[in-house]
Every structure is written in C-alpha cells, then in structure tokens.
Structure 1
Amino acid sequence: MKKKSILLSIAFASLLNAEGIKSVEYINLTKISPTVAKETFSLNEDEELSLVKINQAVKDFYKYGYFEDISVQNDNGALKFFFKEKPSVANVDILGYKTRDKDLEGLKKQIGLSKGTMYSTEKVKKAKEELLRELEKEGYINSVVEVEVENLNENAVSITFNINKGDEIVIKKVNYFGAEDLDNGDFERVTANKEEEFASWFITQNDGELKADQLKYDGKRIQELYFENGYIDAKVENPFLEVDFASNQADLDFYIEEGKQYYTNKIKIYIQSELVKPKFFYNELKLKEDRVFNIKKLRKDAEFIKTKIADLGYAFANVTYDIKKDEKNGTVDIVYRAVPGEKVYIRDVKITGNSRTLDRVIRRNIYLAPGDLFSMTDFKESRNKLARTGYFDDVRIEQKRITKDKMDLVVKVKEAPTGNIILGGGYGSYDKVMFNASIKEKNLFGSGIAATLTADLSAVETKFNLAFDNPSIRDSKFSGSFNLYNVEDEYDKSYYDLTKKTKGMSIGVGRAIMRNLYAGVKYQLDFIKEDYEYSLNYTGTQAVDQDYTSSSIIPYLSFNNTDDYYLPRYGMKAGTSLQYAGVGGDSKYIKSKTYFKYFYSLTDLYDLDWIFRYRSQVNVLLDRGRINQGDSLYLGGTKTLRGFKSSAFGPQDPLIEEPYKKMFANSLELSFPFADLTDMRWGVFYDYGMIGQNSFTDIKRSSVGAVFEWKSPFGPLQLVFAQPIDDEPTDDTSSFEFALGSSF
C-alpha cells in the first residue's frame, strides 16, 4: 500500500492543472476487457477531470487482483493508465508426495494453485501452509516444503513444490487412564487415532498411523461415547502424545473421569395441546424410561418431534430439551419444550445447476410446490426422490425464509453424465470372450425419458435390445415403457447343446398409486425357437426341435423409497409381478415373481461408511396346460446365487425332467469404501438359494465371497469372487464373474 500511495501521489501531481479529458487510453491491459475497464473508470471524454474518481478507479483496478503496479499520466487531457500485470501460473508440480494424477489434481485444487491461476507470493505462501497441514493430517511430522518459482516470461511462471515428507509416526500404544466401564474396543470405534494392530498392512487392521489433525477431536469423541452410554458427568482431557523420534513411535494417553451411569426416569413433552397431543409422541421416542440414558437418542427424539410439528406446516418450529439430573438416584428427567411458531407456506421453488435437465422434470419429483403448506417429510423425501432418478451427482434443497410465514425452496443440483456410448469387451468364466456395444441415455434431451440400444455378444449369448422408458408421461402420474429384443442363448449340457432363440417385444403402462408405490401392467409377446444338438455317442431318446409363441399379460406392483439411484444407503425396494401366459400363443402358465431389497448405513451407529444390504426373491411357476423348456425357473449367477454359473440349476434333460417351479434366493452383504475413492467399494457376501420341481428344497446351495464395485463411466461394474460352500461334483461352479450395468 505504501508503494501504491507514492504512485498515486505522482499521478495526481501531473493532473493538478488539468481541465478536461480528451481521451482515455489503457496500456498493457490484457487481463480484463476494454468494456470492463471503461466501467471501472466512469469518467468519459470531454468530462472534467476528477482526482477523486481517478483515485477510486486505481483502487478498483487493484481489487481485481491482476496487477502488480498501476500508474496514471496526463498529457494535456490525454489520460493514460499504465498496467503491470501479475504473471499467470503456467504449470504446477508437486514432487515427493502424491503420485496418482487424480490425487495430484485434487491436491492442486485444494491448495488453490493450478494452471491458469494468477500468481502472487501470498498465494504461494498459503499453498505451502496448506501442504504442510495436509502432511500433518496424514501423520508426517516435521515435513519440509521448498518452493521454486521459474519465470518463463513476463506473463507466466512455473511453480514447483519439493516435498520432503517428515517422519511418519506410528502409535504403538494407546492408554485410556481412568476407563473402567468402557474398554479399548469401544473407544476404537469412534477415535481416528488408534493403536497399531498385528498385520497392520491388512485392510481390516489398524495401521496405527498418527492423524495429528484429529487429536483435538478424539477426546470429544470419547466423551460423546460416554454420553451415549449414560455417563453424563464424564470428562476427557486433551490427549497427551509422547513421541520417540529415534524410532518414530509414539504413545497416546487419554485421561478420563467416568462418573456414574444414569438411567432415564421421566420424559415430558410440553406443546400446545390444540396443535398435537403430546401422547402422540411418546411411543415413538427412541429414549425409553427406566433404561440407560443416551444423548444420541435424545437428539434424535428432539429432531423427531420437530419433524412431526414441521409436517403440520410449522417449518421453523423450535424444540429444546432440559436434562434434570438426580445424582443421588442416578437418574435424569427429560423435558422437551416445543414452540411451533407460524405456519409456513411455499412462496416459490427455485432450481439451479441444471444446464440440461428441464425444470419441469425436476419439479415433478418435488413434493412441495408454490402455495403448499410446508412439510418436513415432504422436504426430505423430495431430495431422496431426485437422487433416485440417477440424473444428478448431488442434490441439495435449501430453505430460504422470506417472511414469518413464507419461504422459498432452492433446489441445487449437480448433473451427472446420463448418457454413454460403450464399445467394450472382456472375458468371464462363464461367458468366455464377451463384446458389448451400447448407446444409453437415461435423460434424453433432459426430458427424463430413458433410451437404450445395446448389443451383447459372447460365447453363450447374443442379445440385441431397443428400449424406451418414460417415468412420467406428460408430467403425469402415468409411466410408459416399450422394449424390442432379439436374444440367442446357448446352453451347454452334458450330452447335448441347446440353442434358444427369442424374438419379442413388450409394452407397458404404470401409475403412481401413492408415494413410492407404483402399479402397472405389461403385455409381452415372444417367438421362441429351440434347437437341440446331441453328442455323437448319445443313443437315448432325443428331444425334438420346437417353435412356440408365448403371449402374456404381466400386472405388477413396485415400491422404492431408497435415497440414491446407484448407491442406496437407506430404504428398501420391493415388488411383485404375476405373468399370465396364455393370452393367445402356445405357453400356458402363471409365473409369480416377488423380490425385496433392504439397505441400511452403519454411519449413525459406528461413524463408518459401511452399508448392510439384504435381498431376497421368491419365484413360483404354475402349470395351466403347457410349460416349455425355456419357461422353467433357474437358479445361479450374479442375480441369484453367486459362485455358480448362470442357470446352473434347472432342467438338464428336457425329455426326462419336468420344469422347475419353485425357487428362492437371498443374499446378505456388507459393503465398505475402497480406500478414499468414493466411486469404488468392496464388500463381503453370503448367498443361499433353493430350487425344485414341486418343492423349494429339492436343491439347496450356498456360497461366500467378495465383490468389488465401481461406478465407472460405462455404468456400474461388479467384479465377483465367490466360493461355493456345499457344492457337489456335478455342479457348474464359477469362481469369478463380472457384470456391467447392474448393482446389488
């Protein structure tokens, strides 16, 4: 600022005798346009010179952050601004730290320096400090960051950060002094800094690496854990870290005063009785009388009361609570007080971030519209419904209060890539060499219509498919779908090969019955040709090739209240359908299919991004006069029973065996994040399935394994490693398979 003041004084000295402006010239100005420059200096030609306005203009130019020096000269009314611009950053290198390009790009954004940004010594200083903080977070103590700045020319510099990572401190021992009723295992569930475990290199073991930035929070986490277990007098001092720099090892000490454990005595809720009866809440509270007090349950109950009141339109209801402690008896009384305030109505719904998706497509997925009375449940479920569309990477809905009884909803979305063109291939244990080509668009022209054209070729299947799906016809509650396909499957049996060719189409219409519940009906028409080729040494009776037609009506119900399209963490999916074959055609049967999927995140319980998943399906086939070979139920593959080949269990001999008519399969899975990548996960699973001709229990099999998931640019990708538990020598097993375009 001292330099600027001197320059301004010199400039003003040359302007003292000026009377008017003949011209204005901006010299060496490239960072901003002439239009912006004229707007910044508001005096025009023929106007009288104003030192105040020139002074303000120079200050305003400096605010852009693009200039090192600005001077002003006046030559008999010809005004000239001379600019010396700051150089731009042409290149940033970070050496000695991250190696992956993706990690480096993220790090450059984090420190605020990347190609094209404006160079300044202050920015470099802040970037260096941020790198040191990041190194400390990862447990590197006494790291050194050296900076080299190379002037490429007057307008560009190259910056190199040379990092010498300090010693990585490993915690060999964690002491919890004063802890009696809770133990190390309890604390390790909530703390970031943990004691090194045996085989620390394995992904499930604690590596003991110090996370210095988390030390100040670990004590609070332990104290919160005590509060959740009823120890409301518990005190935890800031931890003490003793480091042996000779071995780069440390001991970490926590000093704890537990106090006594309290139980919940009485719970009272005070609210206007004409608004809602307090007794309405008591049975729904998570905190129960005569049980151990839990601060987390207390907060959830307060949020539950607020949500129920907000569902009546009181968007800004305030719920407070008091904890009245009885030290002598070791009990607490809880008193909730709810002040509803005014009923709030929606004034407007504003949408931002959607450069492609039409506003009306977003609005039809929001349960609140202008003029509606606010509802907290509608507010939360609107976010979930938008996330389930799969059109967006991120969805946020914010409340903006306008008056005491009016608010705007601001919907902020970050659009996801919804279309792709795929040319790919691979190799699977069952399908052998595979080739895939597809054009998929989940949000055609931003309308919400899904369109797919695919071709899948492998050793056992050739499939061509054209499909359209409109989830909301003319923004109504009605949906529609159309599917045209040509499929050729090959089944390699012990003494014959079966080639099944299916050409068909389906058309359907559905309607939203209530929130998250849909009903509809489809018509499906298939033209099927079965060709049998027997081995030369087979002398038994051979099945005859056959052509037949299957014409069916399929009514269905489906339910979905999950919170995301690709990666649900909460909610369930369920559905049932009844295929009635015999509306013309040759096949005559009824096939019932029912499925259920449940998702639950363990974040609330353990502060870990683990997801518990369960799925089950029950299929039943009823004979109405003719069931063909291809109409039978089958078990095996990634969708029913992993560890066994697709259709591993079903009729093997079409002349001897009857169709399989009953099938049950279910899966338990626990999913974990893979390293720090949010788009990759891994999990462990247990599958169990049953199938039979007239009983569910004719064949029973199970398997365990691991699965890796990646939300790739081509769609969800799964790599499945499975091991059958109770397989028999004649079973068609499969230890590895991958699936593209499908998820749990």
Structure 2
Amino acid sequence: MKKSLFLLLLGLSGLSAEQIRSINFNGLLHLSNEVAKEISGLKIGDTLSGENTDKAIINLFKQNYFDDIYITSDGSGNVSINVKEKPSIARVDLKGVVTNDKTAIQSLISIKPGNMYDELAIERTKEKIRQYYESKGYFDTVIDVEKQAVANSDSSLFLTLNVNRGENMIIQKVNLVGAKIFDYSDIEPVVANKSREFMGWLWGRNDGKVKLFELPTDPLRIQDKYFQKGYLDATVSSPYLNAYFDNYKADLTYYVTEGKPYDVSSVSIKAPEYLELDNNKIIKSFKLSAGDRVNSERIRRDMKILDDLVADKGYAFVKVYPNTIKHEENNTVEIEYEVEPGEQVYIRNVQVSGNERTVDRVVRRELYLTEGNLYNRTDLQDSIDALKRTSYFDDVEIKEEMVDANTVDLLVDVKEASTGSISGGIGYGSSDGLLLSASLSDTNIFGSGMKGVVSVDRSKDELSGQIGLTNPRIFDSEYSLGGTLYANDRDWNNYKEKSYGFNLTLGRKLTRNLSASLSYVIEQSKISGMNRILIDEVGYKEGRNLKSSLIPAINYNSTDDYYLPRRGILSGLSTEFAGLGGDEKFIKLRSYFNYYQGLKDYINYDLIFRYKADFGKIWDNGYVPINEKLYLGGIRSLRGYDSRTVSPKIQASNKQWYETGGEISFNNSVELSFPIIERVKMRGVLFYDYGMIGDSKLNEIKRQSTGVGIEWITPIGPLQLIFAKALNPASNDETSTFEFNIGRRF
C-alpha cells in the first residue's frame, strides 16, 4: 500500500484541482467496473483531490482482492484506477497427512478453492494445523506452502500445503510436589496427561503423549480428587511442563497444598415454601449425611437428586447451589443446598427431527410429555428411555428450548438405527458340528414400528424356520398383537422331532415399564427314532402329539437401551397351560431376570455389570412329551456346553447316554462388558455361567463355565463372538468352545 500511495503522489503532483468526468479501471478480473466504482467512493462530478483518492485506495484495499492500486488522471478529468488483483486459488492439496487427519484438517482450514490468495489467511491456516497436531501431542510441526501458477493463467494458483508432522512429546514422570495423601497412582485415573508406561504403545497402556489442551483442566481434576476425600483447602498449581526438545521428552510437575480433611456437621435445604418439599425425607435419601467425610462427588449426586425433584414439579430451569460454611477450628463444614426454582414451565411445542424413515407418530407415542403438559424431568428421562428401548434409534436427545419464562419447546432429536438386518450365526459343537443360522428381520418396517422376521436355522441335526409379524402399538394404542408361523425338523441325540405350529399374542401396556400378554399356541409334533430305554424306562411315547395351550405372561422393562443397556431391569414371568384339547397336558412356568448397571459414574470407566437369571418348572398333568422338557446348554443359557445337552441322562445297553430332559432348571450368569474400540461400538465381555437342572431336585446336575467374548453393534445388527470353557464337565457332557451370533440383545 505504501508503494501505491507513492505512485499516487507522483501521478497528482502536477495536477491542479479538476472535476472528474470519467472513471475507468485497468486490471479488473473478478469485480465489475460498476461494483469497483461503488466501492471506491469516487463519483463523476466530484473534484479530484488527494483526500478522496486516498480514501478510494483504502476502500478498495479493504476488499482484500488487490496486491497493488494506483490512480492517474490525464488532466482533463478522465481518471484511471490501475489495480493488480491477487491470484485466486484454483486447488488446495494437503501432502504428508494421513487419511484420518486429512478430513479433520480440511474442516479447520479457511483457505478454499475460489478464495483469493492471502498471506494472512495462509499464516492462520498454518497455525491451525500446528494447533491441531499439538492437541494430539505433536510438537514442532512444519508447514511449507508451495505455489504453482495454473497453465496459461496469471490469475490462478495451485496451492500445496506440505505438512511435516512434528514429534510426540512424551511425559516421562509426573511429580506432585507437596502431596502426602495422594501419589501419582492415585490421580492417574482422572488426569488426561499421564506418564508413559512400559510398552505404552500397547492397547490399554499409557503412551505418555502430551495432551496440550487438557493441561489447564488437569489441576482441577486433581483438586476434585482431594475434594472427594474432604480436603476442601487443597490447592493445585498450574502444570509445569519441562520439555526437552532434543529428545522430545518431558517432566510434568504440580505443586500441591493439601490442608486437612473436613467432616460434614450438618446438611440442610433452603427452598421456597411453595415447593412443599419434605426436606427431612430428601436429606435421608442423600448420599452425604452429617458425620460423613466431605465428598464432592456425593455432593454433586445430592444436588442432582434435589434438582430432579424440583424439576418434576414443573421447574425446568431450577438451580441448586451448595453453600458451605467451613469451621477450621474443628475441621467441619455445614452444607446448605439453596434452591432457586425459577418459574413453572409448560410445554408449547414438541418438534421431532432426525426421523428420516420413522413416522412422527411412532416417535410421539413413546413420549410422556406433549403440548400443554407441565414440565417434568422424570417424564423427560422416561421418554428418552422408552425411545431407546424400541430399537429404532441409535441415539435420542431431548433438548429444552426456552420460549419465555413459562414455556419451552421440546426438541426431540433422534438418530435412526439400522433396524432391518440380515442376521446370521455360526458355532461349532463336538457332536453337532457346524451350526448355522440366518434371518431377515426388521423391527421398524417402513418406519411404522411394526416388527417382522423370517429366519432359518440349520445344523447337522436341525432345520427350523419361522415367519412372524408383530404390531407393538395397534392404532397407536396400549395394545399389541403379533403372530408367528413356525416349523422344525430336528434330529436330537435320542429322538427325531418334526413340528409345525402357530402362536398368536395379544398384549397390553399396563404402566410405563410393565406389560401383560396372553398367547395361544397350537402345535402338531411327531416324535420318532426314540431309543427303547426312553420308552420303557422313562415312559415317553412316539408318534403324533397335538398341543393346544394358553400362556399368560407379565413383563417388566426399565432398561435405557434395546441392544446395549447400561441401566435398568428386564424381567418376566409366564405360565403355559397345555391341555385345552390335544394330547399334551402340563403346566410350564418360565421366568427371567436381567439386571444392568453401568459403573462409569463410580469408577470413571465405561464398565457395565450384568446379572442374568432364568428359572423353569414343569408340572405333569397327564403327559409331557420329551420335546417340552427343560434343557440347558448353548449361548442362551450355559455357554461352553452344546445346546440342550445339559440334562438328566440315562445310559442304554449300547453305552450311549440319552438326555431325558428336566422338570426344574435354573441358570444364571455374571458379566462385565468393557469398551475395546468405542468409535465403532466394539466391546469385550468377561462372563461366568452357572446352571442347575433336575427331575425332582434342582441341584441334581450342576455345571459352570467361564469365558470371554466380543460384542459389536454392526450395521447388520449386534454381533457376539463367544469363547467359552466348561469348568466341570462330566465324561458324558458335550462341550463347545466357540459360538457366534448376530441379532441378539447383549
């Protein structure tokens, strides 16, 4: 710009004041003359002067289009504005960047094809790339910019950003100077910047890489660790990173003052009387009571309890403040939770988004808050859980958007799951050989919420299939209706079974989590190939049997997700009454109980604890065929043993053992699920299974197993790979070490 003003002075030095008769531009490529003239501010009829030409140049330079500008005049009022435009960017290439980083960097940089080349923008881009790599622990990243003119064009450039990624700064040691209560091993789980462990490159080990943007918050994490132990006077300094750029290693130091721990002397609540809170009852439900050591984590949980109670009364934007009064003379603290409820809030509109396939009414029928309702936090959370339990959505978020002091809009944002799937499974058993299964299913047909399945299972000894359709909410009511046609052709160890049948189920939702159903089953079966010992000694019959039965059932579901629950209970009880006509006469009771608890809030790690149990009992009211008896074994009951092979047995004269089936059974399992690759929803699982089965006594046969597995929510459904070890197999047991399944709840 200095050059341009100098030329301007030269051009005007010999000019006397003159009136502008015409304005012409030389060198414009991307702007039109009219637009450029308007930007300059010069107008025909104005008197040409040093002041207005200076202003014209400044106005044009502000557009960031030009490298050089100067103004000349012929002395007769014909003004020429001579410009040299910056070249435009035709293409931007990134080199030296891996694919995963490339997408992220492209979203960060501000220079794009079509932009004018600008040195300031280039420097900003280089700084953003350096900051990006520093956030990932790479220091001394160098970016060179290569410019190449486009062939046959002086106004366009190809830009290449050559990125030489720096080196990782590795933390060798973390020092806590002044700390006595905690050492590094105590604070290691909560801080982001950790020292490198031996074989730090291995998954699950600390690699020691500096996370620059986490450094300012690590002292707060350490301080909160002290607060959780009652050290309310504890202070932690800013981090001191002593870096050695010759070998890219560093020591990290914090200076800590601990103080003394405090105990809670009293807990109280200060809230407006119109809230009608039972303060004594609420305080009894708190995690932190008088006499306890102060714990910041428990304080936060108690605040959440109080916040939710007030929000359930319609106060969506309630605020709870923990006021503390410290008594240093005896190291106690009074805690008073002050409640500012704000105004009661009603729902104005409910807006649903993200449901590209699922129709709005299918989403809305699961909501417990709708237009005109008083806001309720529990209803909001129950709505989220109900939507997740449908299996239609991978994620659900409901946001409150304030309209005014007394009304909010609810924004229901759903991320649809892949509900239609082609599922399959494979396993191997010592007797059955290769086990295959396949199904075509959809839990949300055409976005209607209806569920359908067509499946086939095949092994060396079995061929079975089914076709089913269920409407979980008939006309969006609380009633459900479903039916299944099925056929089986099985060749078990001790008999052959061919059966086909139909079941019809009518259900009703009783409460948010409780439902009841009544099913009717009619089934024709044919038993053949049975060993004589089962007929003569046990009393089973060959030939055709007709079963006609009613099955009342009740089910409870408070889980927070369909495939991967982290919270809640899934349980049910059913009783089958066979004998409404037909040959089979018995009563069969089945019950199950699944408990899920995520442990992240307690240990800051996404570990999920699961307990699952099943119980079965049969009463003989006339005749129970062998195919209706109870059996254990397989991925659904007792892993590590072949399907249906854990059972009372009888030995024939040929020394072969035959399963007779049990009349009472119980099996349960304890599981721990942990993340492996979170971004692709892959998890690992450790499990222990234990089961019992018998004729008259439950503990006649006891079996147990343990193992590991992989759980993966894939685009075609949830996948399980199970590696199991039978712990106490009998000599006549049939075991299985590997099983594979797609399409089943974890």
TM class, shorter-length? 0.7 to 0.9
User: TM-score, length-normalised on structure 1?
Assistant: 0.81
Q: Structure 1 residues 179 and 530 mapped into 2: Cα distance closer, same or farther (>3 Å)?
A: farther
Q: What is the aligned partner in structure 2 of residue 380 from structure 1?
A: 381
Map of 1:597-676 to 2, 5 A cutoff? 597-653=594-650, 658-676=660-678
- 1:121-520 maps to which residues of 2 (within 5 A)? 129-146=127-144, 163-200=163-200, 202-245=202-245, 248-276=248-276, 277-421=278-422, 428-429=428-429, 432-433=433-434, 436-491=437-492, 493=493, 498-520=495-517
Partner of 1:21: none
Contact 1:449–1:470 (Cα < 8 Å) also in 2: yes
Distance 1:147 1:689 in 2: 68
In the alignment, the residues of structure 2 paired with residue 129 and residue 141 of structure 1 have an alpha-carbon distance, to the nearest angstrom, of: 12
What is the CA-CA distance between 1:606 and the residue it aligns to? 2.4
1:557 and 1:163, CA in 2 relative to 1: closer, same or farther beyond 3 A?
Answer: farther
Which residue number in structure 2 is paired with residue 554 of structure 1?
Answer: 551
- Secondary structure of the residue aligned to 1:642 is coil
Shift of 1:720: 0.7
Q: Cα RMSD (Å) of the superposition?
A: 4.0
The correspondence for 2:562, drawn from 562, 565, 576, is: 565
Report the secondary structure of 1:640's partner residue. coil
Shift of 1:119: 9.5
Distance 1:149 1:632 in 2: 80
Shift of 1:223: 0.6
Residues 505 and 525, structure 1, Cα contact 8 Å, conserved in 2: yes
Mapping 1:694-713, distance limit 5 Å: 694-713=696-715
> What does the per-residue CA deviation read over 1:650-673, in whole Å, with 9 as the maximum and x for residues that have no partner?
244599865301211111111111
Which digits, 9 at most, give the CA deviation of each residue in 1:384-407, with x for residues without a partner? 211221222221111122232222
Which amino acid is 1:230 matched to?
G
Shift, 1:364, TM fit: 0.6
SS in 2 for 1:185: helix
Q: Is residue 421–residue 716 contact of structure 2 (8 Å, CA) maintained in 1?
A: yes
Quote how far apart the aligned CAs of 1:481 are: 1.3
SS across alignment from 2:255:
strand
C-alpha contact 1:597 1:616 (8 A) present in aligned 2: yes
Change (3 A) 1:224 1:569: same
Distance 2:180 2:675 in 1: 33
Cα displacement (A) at 1:200: 4.1
Q: Which amino acid aligns with 2:584?
A: S
Cα distance per residue 1:479-501 (max 9 Å; x no partner): 1111111222332x3xx5x3322
How far 1:330 moved relative to its partner? 0.8
Structure 1's 663 and 134: CA in aligned 2 closer, same or farther, altered over 3 A? farther
SS at match of 1:697: helix
Q: Please say if residues 457 and 465 of structure 2, whose CA atoms lie closer than 8 Å, have aligned partners that are also in contact.
A: yes
Identity of aligned residues (%): 37
For 1:117 and 1:361, locate their aligned partners in 2 and report how far apart those are by CA, in whole Å. Answer: 45
Deviation at 1:716, TM superposition (A): 0.5
Partner of 1:729: 731
Q: 1:440 Cα deviation (Å)? A: 2.0
Alignment of 1:49-128 (within 5 A): 95=96, 97=98, 103=100, 107=104, 111=108
Whole-angstrom distance in 2 between the partners of 1:370 and 1:117: 47
Q: Is the 8 A contact 1:418 1:442 kept in 2?
A: yes
Greater mean alpha carbon deviation, residues 471-480 or residues 244-253: 244-253
Q: Secondary structure at the match of 2:294?
A: coil
Q: CA deviation at 1:532?
A: 2.1
Task: Output the CA distance in 2 between the equivalents of 1:541 and 1:179.
Answer: 74
Classify 1:303/1:169 alpha carbon distance in 2 versus 1 (closer, same or farther; 3 Å). same
Larger mean Cα displacement after TM superposition, 244-253 or 380-389 = 244-253
Structure 2 letter corresponding to 1:417: S
Aligned equivalents of 1:654 and 1:225: distance in 2? 63
The letter for the 1-side match of 2:734 is D
State the 1:451 CA deviation. Answer: 1.5
Between the aligned partners of 2:148 and 2:491, the Cα distance in structure 1 is: 65
C-alpha deviation, 1:603, in angstroms: 1.7
d(CA) in 1 for partners of 2:523, 2:150: 69
Give the equivalent residue in structure 1 for 2:40.
none
Is the contact made by 1:108 and 1:114 (CA closer than 8 Å) also made in structure 2? no
CA–CA distance in 1 between the matches of 2:543 and 2:129? 71
Structure 2 portions without partners, runs of 5+: 4-19, 24-28, 36-43, 45-58, 68-84, 653-657
Question: SS at 2:289's partner residue?
Answer: coil
Whether contact under 8 Å (2:349, 2:410) holds in the other structure is yes
Q: Distance in 2 between matches of 1:543 and 1:624?
A: 14
- Per the TM alignment, residue 180 of structure 1 is displaced from its structure 2 partner at its CA by 1.9
Q: Once the two structures are superposed, what CA deviation does each residue of 1:557-602 show, in whole Å capped at 9, x if it has no partner?
A: 1111222222211222111111112222222222211111122222
AA aligned to 2:513 is N
TM-score of the two chains, using structure 2 as the length reference: 0.81
Separation in 1 of the partners of 2:439 and 2:111? 36
Deviation digits for residues 640-691 of structure 1, max 9, x if unmatched? 1222221120244599865301211111111111134341111212222221
Which amino acid counterpart does residue 740 of structure 2 have in structure 1? F
**Corresponding letter in the other structure for 1:673:** P
Aligned residues: 677
CA offset at residue 477 of structure 1? 0.8
* SS at 1:580 equivalent: strand
Aligned residue among 673, 684, 687 for 1:685:
687
Displacement after TM superposition at 1:737 (Å): 0.9
Tell me the distance in 2 between the aligned counterparts of 1:149 and 1:479: 67
Please name the residue that 1:34 is paired with.
none
**Shift, 1:243, TM fit:** 3.9
Contact 2:607/2:675 (CA < 8 Å) preserved in 1?
A: yes
Q: Do 1:112 and 1:123's aligned partners in 2 also have CA atoms closer than 8 Å?
A: no
Which residue number in structure 2 is paired with residue 54 of structure 1? none
1:222-280 CA-to-partner distances (Å, cap 9, x unmatched) read 11111111111111112233344555443332221111111111111122334323223
- Distance across 2 between alignment mates of 1:626 and 1:312: 57
Aligned AA for 1:239? Answer: P
SS for the counterpart of 1:283 is helix
Corresponding residue for residue 75 of structure 1:
none
Q: CA deviation at 1:199?
A: 5.0
CA deviation map 1:401-426 (0-9, x unaligned): 2232222111112222222346x675
Partners in 2 of 1:125 and 1:301 — Cα distance? Answer: 49
Residue identity matched to 1:619: G
Distance in 2 of aligned mates of 1:385 and 1:468: 21
Q: Structure 1 residues 85 and 283, CA, compared in 2 at 3 Å: closer, same or farther?
A: farther
Classify the secondary structure of the residue corresponding to 2:698: coil
Partner secondary structure for residue 669 of structure 1 = strand
Task: Extract unaligned runs of 5+ from structure 1.
Answer: 4-14, 19-26, 30-39, 41-48, 50-58, 70-82
Q: Which amino acid aligns with 2:679?
A: L
Bigger Rg, structure 1 or 2: 2
The one-character-per-residue Cα deviations of 1:580-636 (angstroms, maximum 9, x if unpaired) are 122222222222111111222222122222212221111222222211111111111
